[in-house]
A = this chain, B = another copy of it.
Amino acid sequence: MDANSLKDLLQGVKDGSLDIEDALKELKKLPFEDLGFAKVDNHRNIRNGYPEVIYCQGKTVEQVKGIVERLMEKNNNILATRAGKEVYEGIKEITEDAVYYEAARIVVVKRREAIVTDKIIAVVSAGTSDIPVAEEAAVTAEALGNNVIRIYDVGVAGIHRLFANMDKINSANVLIVVAGMEGALASVVGGMVDKPVIAVPTSIGYGANFGGLSALLTMLNSCASGVGVVNIDNGFGAGYLASMINRL
């Protein structure tokens, strides 16, 4: 209900075409009416400038296929995350356009070409085991139209490897840092650059890493400023947020 409808309502009361009880009933709904900022789900694509995303974990292949079919009617690009090989094969049956990024566990269906920015997102990761999460972030950011460079296996236990990549690191507009175990890499990178850093703790590690809690706390308590943290293993979230920032 916008200002005009409200005026009409009052006019109705004034001229007697609407009685007071009915007007009262109408007014009670006032705070909750749709305020015009959103209408239907497919409008989100326009609002966010992004393809539709399907989070596949906990969904059957049939459920994913159903969603893909519906979305394809709208000609959307599609990003299916946490997708096993069997999910990819299921989507492949629907469309030849499906491409599988195995390390990232992502299926991309590209129907329209995204406008690509040449500003760089750097994905920096600590250990070999962090690569699946790092790739989820990287492939997500690429699918959203960003220019991504990967700097992997540069954990702080051998910090010279990180410094050997200083030029690449300094070329980035936004950085995603992916690290498990103690997650110290985010603080070190955050102290080296004057660009926003999105930190992704991973559940990699053993003993008292408590499923990623150690890296999560490390990153939240980072002594370097300019670091924002996403959920444990949430490579997609990091790639999405980095893209949002990179495309401002």
Contact = CB atoms under 8 A, between A and B. Distances in A.
A163 B206 CA distance: 30
B241 A196 contact: yes
B206 A233 contact: yes
A146 interface: no
Interface of A: 3, 6-7, 10-11, 13-14, 16, 20, 23-24, 27-35, 37-39, 41, 43-44, 46-50, 53, 57-59, 63, 126-129, 131, 153-161, 163-164, 166, 170, 173-174, 181-184, 187-188, 190-192, 194-196, 198, 201, 203-210, 212-234, 236-237, 240-241, 244-246, 248
**Smallest CB-CB A-B distances: 10 pairs:** A228-B228, A31-B160, A207-B232, A184-B184, A207-B231, A214-B217, A38-B160, A157-B191, A48-B194, A157-B224
A20 B24 contact: no
A203 B207 CA distance: 8
Contacts of A230: 220, 227-229
Contacts of A156: 184, 187-188, 191, 223-224
Given A11-B20, A208-B217, A220-B231, 4 more contacts: A201-B207, A214-B221, A216-B220, A218-B218
Nearest to A233: B207
A221 B192 contact: no
Contact of A209 (B48, B192, B217): B217
19 contacts: A14-B14, A31-B159, A31-B163, A37-B131, A37-B160, A38-B159, A48-B194, A157-B224, A157-B225, A184-B184, A184-B188, A188-B188, A214-B220, A215-B221, A217-B218, A220-B231, A221-B231, A227-B230, A227-B241
Contacts of A11: 20
B31 A164 contact: yes
A165 B157 CA distance: 18
Contacts of A214: 214, 217-218, 220-221
Contacts of A190: 157
A209 B221 contact: yes
B244 A232 contact: no
A245 B164 contact: no
